[in-house]
Amino acid sequence: MTIVTIPTQPFAGQQPGTSGLRKKVVVFQQPHYLENFVQALFDSLEGAAGQTLVLGGDGRFHNRAAVQTILRMAAAKGFGRVLVGRGGILSTPAVSCVIRKHRAYGGIVLSASHNPGGPEGDFGIKYNVGNGGPAPEKVTEAVHARTKELRSYRISDAAAPDFDRPGTATIEQTAVEVIDPVADYAALMREVFDFDAIRGLFARGFRVRCDAMSAVGGPYAKAILEGELGAPAGTVVNAEPLPDFGDLHPDPNPVNAEDLIAHMAAADAPDFGCATDGDADRNMIVGRNFPVAPSDSLALLAAHATVVPRYAKGLAGIARSMPTSTAADRVAQALGIPCFETPTGWKFFGNLLDAGRATLCGEESYGTGSDHVREKDGLWAILFWLNILAVRGGSVESLVRAHWAQYGRNYYSRHDYEAVDSAAANALMAELRAQLPGLAGQRLNERRVALADDFAYTDPVDGSTASRQGVRVIFEDGSRIVYRLSGTGTEGATLRVYLEMYEADPARQDVPTQTALAPLITAAGALARIEQHTGRATPSVVT
């Protein structure tokens, strides 16, 4: 067994986006493509020799081949130990948990999150640092820079050890320890939540449907909900991770999880519906015929957090991404704690969590989390809701309506225009940006603009900055339109338009969301000339 140096040429475009490097599977299957990126990553890590690396993925197509390659390259890099999930399986929050618990140097997650899988689908790789969270931009930028100059990579010529059975093997000088993907994560959930209370809920006949969408959340949900908390067998559906996700699009929103929505609208609907995404960091919560908006979910979890043992003493602060609705801000204000507004992407929460300035964080894109790990966490959010329901009683709908009655309702929707021509999308954004200086004071469809800018962020902990994070138009009544281009898509460009309107009066909180937002939707289309630029009269996905 020797470590060999393989000559290679740089690939263009190995630039990590909002969450790691995501490309079509066929792109990753090109000889040297994955190896180049991993070598560029390893070259950017100082002092990793002898340390521990965590490795696992969401089980999608190409996961196993990538695990084998990375094990052989980790041996060449001289890691002391690699903790790999059995079968190459680890959810994103589990990787974060395992990195923290075992004080690993970092971890690699093989996932394209909620993007479709299978041979024609997407693959992805992301790197998490020692705090368990996504690599900050200074790391991802260094990796990208290195990919452009790489001329060779180093790999062991030995076969990767078997990773389907627990145990430890050695490749070169590196120990490869195959771990149970669920055990450390389940232990953490036991510490965070009141499992006895949730057991009581199930014992009283509370019915849950948890749709793992044939992705990696299945084993976790089954072990914890059915195995530990007493939910009846069959509570978790689509529980086995499949390489093509059984042709499901594992993105838990009402459009892609339509089967769950249909079950929750049926006459004999369960009390509580939930779903997780490809790598189990996202969650959707649905009551009986009542989908919960993710921004509302974050606000509601914050408002009831003290029922959960880990948060019993209260929250230090809340953080939300800029396009996420301001519902959480109202809770923070009532609690007398700060609410931080960050750019889109979980990596921006890391410093706030590490510094103890934020306890809960969330995004409108079905992501919620806390300082228990450094990733968003789908099953954690589901358990949080169950813990609240177990202690407070009532239904999902009654809790949300009570929340709106107390804090007001932030009507909210995101309109996505997927796979539009990149040049057209860039032109649309450029034209919007050019209009910004003159917008304040103007009326757009009856509302007067109070502020219009391109969101820029200065991290309050380390002073690092991020600019051009989305165009926001804020009206005098607090309503908002936000425009940004996706950083995770793999086809053309995706324009996201985020719409928000506040309604304090409970008598007016029951209007269908798209109706309530209609004037803002019209204004958003007209201001950005969406149809003229993209050729699309309507969005492809509305959540």
Q: Give the binding site for Zn ion (CB under 5 A).
A: 113, 277, 279, 281-282
Query: Which CB sits closer to Zn ion, 72 or 282?
Result: 282
**Quick one: what does residue 365 bind among Zn ion, ligand G1P, none, with the CB cut-off 5 to 8 Å set by partner type?**
ligand G1P
**φ and ψ at residue 178, rounded to 5 degrees:** -90, 120
For residues 485 and 256, give the distance between their C-alpha atoms in angstroms, rounded to a whole number. 21
Query: What minimum distance in Å lies between the beta carbon of 323 and ligand G1P?
Result: 8
Query: Which CB sits closer to Zn ion, 273 or 378?
Result: 378
Name which of residues 470 to 499 contact ligand G1P (CB under 6 A): 486-488, 496
Residue found under tokens 């696992």? 56
By CB under 6 A, residue 42 contacts ligand G1P: no
Q: Tell me, by CB under 6 A, how many residues bind ligand G1P.
A: 14
Query: What minimum distance in Å lies between the beta carbon of 44 and ligand G1P?
Result: 21
**φ and ψ at residue 218, rounded to 5 degrees:** -55, -55
Query: What minimum distance in Å lies between the beta carbon of 92 and Zn ion?
Result: 6
User: Cα–chain-centroid distance for residue 82?
Assistant: 24
**Quick one: what does residue 277 bind among Zn ion, ligand G1P, none, with the CB cut-off 5 to 8 Å set by partner type?**
Zn ion
List the one residue from 19, 174, 469, 479 that touches ligand G1P (CB under 6 A): 19
By CB under 6 A, residue 502 contacts ligand G1P: no
Which tokens is 195 given?
Answer: 């499992």
**φ and ψ at residue 155, rounded to 5 degrees:** -150, 145
By CB under 6 A, residue 543 contacts ligand G1P: no
Sign of the CA dihedral with 236 first, then 240, 246, and 250 last: positive
Site map for ligand G1P, 323-342, x if CB under 6 A?
--------------------
List the one residue from 344, 370, 387, 543 that touches ligand G1P (CB under 6 A): 344
Query: What minimum distance in Å lies between the beta carbon of 275 and ligand G1P?
Result: 15
For residues 293 and 299, give the distance between their C-alpha atoms in angstroms, rounded to a whole number. 10
Beta-ladder partners of 299: none
By CB under 6 A, residue 18 contacts ligand G1P: yes
- Of 212-220, 286-294, 359-367, 389-397: span binding ligand G1P (CB under 6 A): 359-367
Taking phi first (over 0 means left), then psi (-120 to 50 degrees means alpha), and beta for anything else, what does residue 17 get? beta
Q: Which residues have CB under 8 Å from 230's CB, separation 6+?
A: 199, 202, 203
Query: What minimum distance in Å lies between the beta carbon of 279 and Zn ion?
Result: 4
Query: Which CB sits closer to ligand G1P, 283 or 365?
Result: 365
**Quick one: what does residue 174 bind among Zn ion, ligand G1P, none, with the CB cut-off 5 to 8 Å set by partner type?**
none
User: From the candidates 113, 156, 479, 486, which is the catalytic residue?
Assistant: 113
By CB under 6 A, residue 410 contacts ligand G1P: no
Distances (CA, A) of 146 to 52, 71, 328, 378: 22, 21, 39, 33
For residues 401 and 399, give the distance between their C-alpha atoms in angstroms, rounded to a whole number. 6
**Quick one: what does residue 18 bind among ligand G1P, Zn ion, none, with the CB cut-off 5 to 8 Å set by partner type?**
ligand G1P
Name which of residues 104 to 143 contact ligand G1P (CB under 6 A): 113
Active site residue 113: yes
Taking phi first (over 0 means left), then psi (-120 to 50 degrees means alpha), and beta for anything else, what does residue 68 get? alpha
For residues 414 and 542, give the distance between their C-alpha atoms in angstroms, rounded to a whole number. 6
Query: Which CB sits closer to ligand G1P, 171 or 361?
Result: 361
By CB under 6 A, residue 22 contacts ligand G1P: no
Query: Which CB sits closer to ligand G1P, 194 or 377?
Result: 377
Burial of residue 196, with CB atoms counted within 10 A of its CB: 0-12 exposed, 13-18 middle, 19 or more buried: exposed
For residues 347 and 51, give the distance between their C-alpha atoms in angstroms, rounded to a whole number. 23
By CB under 6 A, residue 346 contacts ligand G1P: yes
For residues 68 and 374, give the distance between their C-alpha atoms in angstroms, rounded to a whole number. 26
Give the three-class secondary structure for 402: helix
Query: What minimum distance in Å lies between the beta carbon of 122 and ligand G1P?
Result: 12
For residues 99 and 350, give the distance between their C-alpha atoms in angstroms, rounded to a whole number. 14
Which tokens is 173 given?
Answer: 């000088």
Query: Which CB sits closer to ligand G1P, 346 or 384?
Result: 346
By CB under 6 A, residue 235 contacts ligand G1P: no
List the one residue from 296, 329, 363, 500 that touches ligand G1P (CB under 6 A): 363
For residues 148 and 151, give the distance between their C-alpha atoms in angstroms, rounded to a whole number. 9
> Tell me, what amino acid is at 479?
S
Query: Which CB sits closer to ligand G1P, 270 or 343?
Result: 343
Active site residues: 113
The contact set with ligand G1P (CB under 6 A) reads 18-19, 113, 321, 344-346, 363, 365, 367, 486-488, 496
